[in-house]
Amino acid sequence: MGMTMSQKILAKHAGLDSVKEGQLIKAKLDMVLGNDITSPVAINEFNKAGFNSVFDKEKISLVMDHFTPNKDIKAATQCKQCRDFAGKYDILNYYDVGDMGIEHALLPEKGLIAPGELCIGADSHTCTYGALGAFSTGVGSTDMCAGMATGEAWFKVPGAIKFNLTGKLNKYVSGKDVILHIIGMIGVDGALYKSMEFTGEGLKSLSIDDRLTIANMAIEAGAKNGIFEVDQITLDYVKDRVNRPFEYFKADEDAVYSQVIDIDLGTVKQTVAFPHLPENTRTIDEIKEDIAIDQVVIGSCTNGRISDMRIAAEILKGKHIAKNVRCIVIPGTQKIYLECIKEGLAEIFVEAGCVFSTPTCGPCLGGHMGILAAGERAVSTTNRNFVGRMGHVDSEIYLASPAVAAASAIAGKIAGIN
């Protein structure tokens, strides 16, 4: 019986010739990730369990991104704990304010993930790196702790849904619209425990940034991981970033899928997910009523990359956001931040009346840098619109692409762009 891409990566890292759905395996890890919220729990467990070394100081990444720059004394204390741990064990990929980025924008950019590698991260959006053809999945702090100590993790081998992509995206339609369209179709548990495997000739029209956005939100369909077949676009992206050998995999012809879904990218429209679940999607032309907004957030691990900044700037250039709307633009990494300055995007944002922030997860999870009051509404390029996610339990989040978010900021209500 053939294997999927995900199964082949798991088999290789478990030292097995083949694996099948449902099998419990132990596999060797190429990267273990944590952030300023999940790492302290892992570090406490690490110390409590009496470990006194890490498996590989080059294969652990600690990224201070959620409540940074430290929002309060407790957040500062958690970051200090991570900093001290990184110092004690000489962890090379420790990223703090000034050289950090939002973890899932940062790790691919730094070449810390290669096609075919196996990564766990104590953050649910760790599934982002499947965009590069890696098997990458979110876990909790205890798994992170065990991973840092032993370099291994247990997995139940997942089955898969295959997404066969054809056609080409229309102008102002992006990876965000594709993944919202898919979650709207299969639901927030439509891929529960499964891999979402993306393949087909439509891949040619999807940039790495589009793929990172799509893989990022695989978790929002309940998936264990999202993964893209590696092609020339992937190899071009990693060429100057990854300087170690890697082996990547295509699915077998006779791989077994629980479902095969064909998507013509040319038919995907600008899409918005209404409160309070990412599956509550409507295409922009299905929204007939005026939905007035108070805040727009453009950024996050989902949509804080340079192409997201460019499209938002293109729409905001020479315009001003609506009165009574606050627009917060957050580039994903320091590198992207600098690119925004050099390309003149930062100036466009500020002149349009937006806030231009240092990288942080901040508002996405209701941490800081843009919390909503009761009764307020936001259009956000982030990934979750759960009750209370960005602030008060009586606030509302509408998930959308950077293009729709920028157009909405100008209109003062949810708006698309032609």
Footprint of other proteins on this chain (CB under 8 A)? Answer: 24, 37-38, 40-41, 44-45, 48-49, 66-67, 71-72, 74-75, 78, 121-124, 126, 138-143, 145-146, 149-150, 154, 188-189, 192-193, 219, 222, 224, 277, 365-367, 384, 386-389, 393
Cβ-based neighbours of 182, under 8 Å, separated by 6 or more: 163, 196, 214, 221, 261, 263
Contact 113, 95 (CB under 8 A): no
Nearer to other proteins, 139 or 296 (CB): 139
Minimum separation from the CB atom of position 293 to other proteins (A): 21
Minimum separation from the CB atom of position 239 to other proteins (A): 31
Cβ-based neighbours of 38, under 8 Å, separated by 6 or more: 122, 123, 140, 141, 144
Nearer to other proteins, 59 or 384 (CB): 384
Minimum separation from the CB atom of position 418 to other proteins (A): 34
Minimum separation from the CB atom of position 121 to other proteins (A): 8
Strands (E) across 290-352 are located at 295-299, 326-330
How far apart CA 306 and CA 312 sit, in angstroms, is: 10
Minimum separation from the CB atom of position 34 to other proteins (A): 10
Minimum separation from the CB atom of position 224 to other proteins (A): 6
Cβ-based neighbours of 127, under 8 Å, separated by 6 or more: 136, 137, 138, 215, 216, 218, 219, 223, 224, 225, 226
Minimum separation from the CB atom of position 142 to other proteins (A): 4
Nearer to other proteins, 141 or 216 (CB): 141
How far apart CA 30 and CA 253 sit, in angstroms, is: 27
Contact 196, 161 (CB under 8 A): yes
Minimum separation from the CB atom of position 320 to other proteins (A): 32
Strands (E) across 64-199 are located at 93-95, 118-121, 135-138, 152-156, 160-166, 195-199
* Preceding omega of 276 cis (within 30 degrees of 0): yes
How are beta strands 326-330 and 24-28 bridged, if at all? Answer: unpaired
As given in the structure block, the two tokens for residue 259 are: 């479902």
Nearer to other proteins, 143 or 396 (CB): 143
* Preceding omega of 69 cis (within 30 degrees of 0): yes
How far apart CA 411 and CA 418 sit, in angstroms, is: 14
Nearer to other proteins, 88 or 193 (CB): 193
Nearer to other proteins, 49 or 338 (CB): 49
Minimum separation from the CB atom of position 305 to other proteins (A): 21
How far apart CA 412 and CA 9 sit, in angstroms, is: 46
Nearer to other proteins, 126 or 295 (CB): 126
Three-state secondary-structure class, residue 133: coil
Minimum separation from the CB atom of position 393 to other proteins (A): 5
Nearer to other proteins, 210 or 279 (CB): 279
Nearer to other proteins, 234 or 383 (CB): 383
Nearer to other proteins, 101 or 366 (CB): 366
Cβ-based neighbours of 13, under 8 Å, separated by 6 or more: 27, 28, 29, 30, 118, 135
How far apart CA 17 and CA 11 sit, in angstroms, is: 6
